[in-house]
Amino acid sequence: MLEWANRLGVKHRRDNSGRECVTERDGRRIIEEVRRVGREAAELQSAFQLYIESWEEQRRQAGENAYQRGLVEQYQRQVNTTPKGFAFYGGGDWLGPGPQARGFANAKAAEARVEFERKNPRRDFDSFERSWKKGRKRR
């Protein structure tokens, strides 16, 4: 309590038994400040968690899109290189990507995730906190 009193510039004194204390009015002020700081910390933590979830979702989506494009690219390559009149993978129906196509698509997805991280580096908590507090002051 006295740490908060010092932080707020509240004077404290000693009572008859030698304990440090503050006035009731200053005590209420200190309690309100502690609650306000607690609420602000909870809001900051919640906002950071939302930021992390959003960043992870965007990164995952970039990889997923690249994976799908890689599969389509491999399918088109296979269709274009199959001689006319011949079926591939049993009767002309594409039964799904083979190991090479999946490997190619996985490589494309990994490249897309790395590119996303390069363009949108994930911020740490301290840098997020600075920008979050700056944004709150503008409101």
Query: What tens digit of pLDDT does each residue of 44-80 get?
Result: 999 999 999 999 999 999 999 999 999 888 888 877 7
Of 52, 59, 74, 75, nearest to 109 (Cα)? 59
Which class for 86: exposed (0-12), middle (13-18), buried (19 or more C-beta within 10 A)?
A: exposed
> Could you read off the pLDDT of 8-43 as tens digits, one per residue?
888 888 888 989 888 899 999 999 999 999 999 999
Domain extent for 52: 2-138
pLDDT per residue as tens digits for the range 79-136? 777 666 555 555 455 566 788 888 999 999 999 999 999 999 999 999 999 888 888 7
What is residue 94's predicted lDDT score, i.e. its pLDDT?
A: 57
In the chain, DSSP assigns E strands to 13-14, 20-21
The Cβ-side half-sphere exposure at 13, using a 13 Å CA radius, reads: 5
Q: How many domains does the chain have?
A: 1
